[in-house]
Amino acid sequence: MSDTQNNKVTPIGTTKMPKHIAIIMDGNGRWAKSRSLPRFAGHRVGLEAVRKTVQACTEYGIEVLTLFAFSSENWQRPTKEVSVLMDLFLTALKKEVKKLHKNNVQLHIIGGLEAFSDKIQARAKESEDLTAGNTGLKLVIAANYGGRWDITNATKKLAAKVKAGELEPEDINEQMLGQYMSLSNMPTPDLFIRTGGEQRISNFLLWDLAYTELYFTELLWPDFSKGELDKAIASFTRRQRRFGLTGDQIEKVAGA
């Protein structure tokens, strides 16, 4: 099902791999419910799907993988489920970061981390520091993250510069605002994947997904596999990304 080139495995038929894949991992609770299991069981099995996806992206030479782990709206879920998610997050940071480090993965955590416990904040910083020098896949975990929060946060930083007299309002442009977004130092996501059957982006990376190719699957996240990732990537490679241009313009540039 794959070939090897420069020690990186590539799915059959792909000529242009996405540099950055972003995923909403939806369906853990429904997966558990369908098996008469408590919701936290779905979250635990979902962690294994994360491991497989990280491994596949590493093999394929993907530059960045961004996973929506916990949204700013998820605090509204039942208290017990939130508590389990927090414990799972802390456990994952403890157990998984050494494996990530061993596999040359660089970990980044974005979002309003100040809402988490001191223990989680400390562990997150330790994890990022440990992997900071790695040169392989950049794994971005969005936790207590929301796209509107991200844009608002960036706007506040620019407003502070205007207030301090360091910047004139008329000098603010799209590129400048983009420099203050959470993923400003990453390539823009090429491919967005959402599992679980819902076809919306749910306040995830609103700024960054402007020209991202969207892929939705009915598959629930715990059942997500390397094969499903291959399908999403294959779908991506068949699309013509125009970024506001016409198809003829893109073909002309490609043939130049």
Mean pLDDT along residues 149-155: 97
The rounded percent of the chain whose pLDDT value lies above 70 is: 88
User: Are 28 and 220 a contacting pair, CB within 8 Å?
Assistant: yes
Say if residue 244's pLDDT is above 80. no
Prediction pTM value = 0.88
Task: State the Cα–Cα distance between residues 32 and 47, nearest whole angstrom.
Answer: 13
Per-residue pLDDT tens digits for 111-133: 999 988 899 999 999 999 999 99
Task: State the Cα–Cα distance between residues 237 and 233, nearest whole angstrom.
Answer: 6
Task: State the Cα–Cα distance between residues 233 and 57, nearest whole angstrom.
Answer: 11
Q: Is 26 a catalytic residue?
A: yes
pLDDT band at 250 (very low <50, low <70, confident <90, very high): low
Mean pLDDT along residues 73-84: 78
The rounded percent of the chain whose pLDDT value lies above 90 is: 71
Task: State the Cα–Cα distance between residues 156 and 138, nearest whole angstrom.
Answer: 27
pLDDT band at 193 (very low <50, low <70, confident <90, very high): very high
pLDDT band at 91 (very low <50, low <70, confident <90, very high): confident
- For each of the domains in the chain, give its residue range(s) and CATH number, in order of start: 16-255 (3.40.1180.10)
Write out the E strands in 14-162. Answer: 20-24, 64-71, 106-110, 138-145
User: Which of 3, 74, 203, 223 is an active site residue?
Assistant: 74
Say if residue 242's pLDDT is above 80. no
Helix residue ranges per DSSP H, 37-76: 39-60
Say if residue 11's pLDDT is above 70. no
pLDDT band at 29 (very low <50, low <70, confident <90, very high): very high
Q: Is 104 a catalytic residue?
A: no
User: Which of 3, 6, 26, 104 is an active site residue?
Assistant: 26
